[in-house]
Amino acid sequence: MNLLLIGVLLAIMAIAYQIGLSKSRSLAGKGSNSANLHSRPGYYGALVALWCGIPAFLILIVWNMVEPTFLEQVVLNHLPENVSASLDPASLSVLIDRVQALASGFGVSDT
């Protein structure tokens, strides 16, 4: 998985925790007619962080499983008809690897 995405996800979860914590503390209040919370404010912060992080993490896992097949189909659909029809599976695999190298910047020289 991409380490940057995991870092962003953890940062979003930390922000969500702080928002949930501050909201539950403001609801608890200190007055006589304040709302009685069932749990401690930290639990509400953790609940908000989990509701924010778990769906995003599941989407990230599903995308990492589907990404190679999806991108290969996108590349194959954008090839001209005469090129895709004339390639055997080994040549097609080499072509996909070459496109991935070009997309990542490894197949391009500065000269």
Q: Which amino acid is at 31?
A: G
CB 64 within 8 A of CB 1: yes
Taking residue 19's Cβ as centre, other Cβ atoms within 10 Å add up to 15
pTM score, whole prediction: 0.70
Residue 105 CA: distances (Å) to CA of 71, 90, 108: 16, 23, 6
In angstroms, rounded to a whole number, what is the distance separating the alpha carbons of residues 28 and 94?
Answer: 62
In order along its 111 residues, the chain shows pLDDT tens digits of 589 999 999 999 999 999 999 998 888 876 555 567 788 888 999 999 999 999 999 999 999 999 889 988 888 888 888 887 888 888 888 888 888 888 887 766 665
In angstroms, rounded to a whole number, what is the distance separating the alpha carbons of residues 2 and 60?
Answer: 9
